[in-house]
Amino acid sequence: MKVKNRPVFLVAVLALLGLASVMTILARVNVFSVDTPPDSQRNQIYQTNWNDFETHYAAWLASLNVSRLNLHALQRSDSTAAFAPPQVASLTEAVQSATFVVKVRAMSLRPTTFNGSYVTVSVDATYKGTTPSTIEIHQGGGLRPTRDWKQVLIVDSADAPLLLPGDRAYLFLQQMGSELIIQPFTGFYQLDRGNVSSLIGNPFRADLAKKTEAEMASAIILAARN
């Protein structure tokens, strides 16, 4: 997910880093001063601060050895990004609108600075389409620093939480150019000890409540035949 509204994203990130950071930036643009600087000056100050943040964040991310992180133990936070409501109203419609429907196990995570993360998964079963045994999925979530820049937290995208190595899920995937993305809200079904969980934004979530992994597989196969 590319960030198109940088001011909103900057404030959201600074909020994660603590009120002190936000106050520092506000002070530098004289928000609390009666004599507000002209727009050109404010824009220049904003751009300087944004450039500083980009450099700092890129260096922080480059210094991470993701393979050595205990990702499942990290604190998770929700992204403030807004999403359009789901475009499908049933499991059958969700399957029909997907390019691929697969059961996967996440293997590795490759976060980027401002373009989400790329997750490599092994394909354990395919219910629609034909895929290689290993594929890469582009997700909107990623890794962010804590307030002191010393620790790591996970920021999840509401339409599909970030898959971590070892996670298993049924995924309804859509081809977007050369990339695969998860169908928003209705294409993510995490598996845990034989149980299936769907997302709050899924309009037919109640229909899938208490389904087992095997029952979900049967429902997907039936939907794929319609």
CATH number at residue 158: 2.40.50
Are residues 158 and 105 part of one domain?
yes
Q: What is the mean pLDDT of residues 207-218?
A: 96
Can you give the pLDDT at residue 38?
81
152: in domain: yes
DSSP state of 23: H
Give the pLDDT confidence of 54-73 residue by residue, as tens digits: 999 999 999 999 999 999 99
Tokens of 204: 């037919």
Q: Residue 121 pLDDT more than 50?
A: yes
24: in domain: yes
Angle formed at CA 105 by CA 100 and CA 93, multiple of 5 degrees = 30
Confidence of residue 49 (pLDDT cuts 50, 70, 90): very high
Are residues 137 and 54 part of one domain?
no
Are residues 136 and 199 part of one domain?
yes
Q: Give residue 147's domain range.
A: 78-225
136: in domain: yes
Output the pTM of the full model: 0.80
Q: What is the mean pLDDT of residues 80-93?
A: 93
Are residues 99 and 58 part of one domain?
no
- How many domains is the chain partitioned into structurally? 2
1: in domain: no
Can you give the pLDDT at residue 21?
52
68: in domain: no
Residue scoring higher pLDDT (35 or 16):
35
73: in domain: no
Are residues 103 and 201 part of one domain?
yes
Give the pLDDT confidence of 168-192 residue by residue, as tens digits: 999 999 999 999 999 999 999 999 9
69: in domain: no
Q: Among residues 40, 39, 52, which one has the least CA distance to residue 10?
A: 52
Are residues 205 and 160 part of one domain?
yes
Tokens of 31: 């928000």
- Tokens 């294409």 identify what position? 187
- Phi then psi for residue 40, to 5 deg, are -60, -40
Are residues 127 and 17 part of one domain?
no
- What residue type is 171 in one-letter code? L
The mean of the pLDDT values for the chain is: 88
Q: What is the mean pLDDT of residues 139-157?
A: 94
17: in domain: yes
Are residues 163 and 113 part of one domain?
yes
Tokens of 162: 């970030």
Q: Residue 217 pLDDT more than 70?
A: yes
Are residues 120 and 12 part of one domain?
no
CA-CA distances (angstroms) from residue 92 to 88, 95, 99, 180, 197?
A: 9, 5, 13, 20, 17
Can you give the pLDDT at residue 34?
52
Instruction: Indicate the angle between helix axes 6-17 and 39-62, nearest 10 degrees.
Output: 60
Angle formed at CA 196 by CA 200 and CA 125, multiple of 5 degrees = 120
Instruction: Please tell me whether residue 54 adopts helix, strand or coil conformation.
Output: helix
Q: What is the mean pLDDT of residues 104-121?
A: 96
Are residues 46 and 12 part of one domain?
yes
Q: What is the mean pLDDT of residues 48-52?
A: 92
Are residues 58 and 98 part of one domain?
no
Distance CA 112, CA 129 (A): 28
Are residues 96 and 204 part of one domain?
yes
Of how many residues is the chain composed?
Answer: 226
Distance CA 213, CA 192 (A): 9
Q: Residue 81 pLDDT more than 50?
A: yes
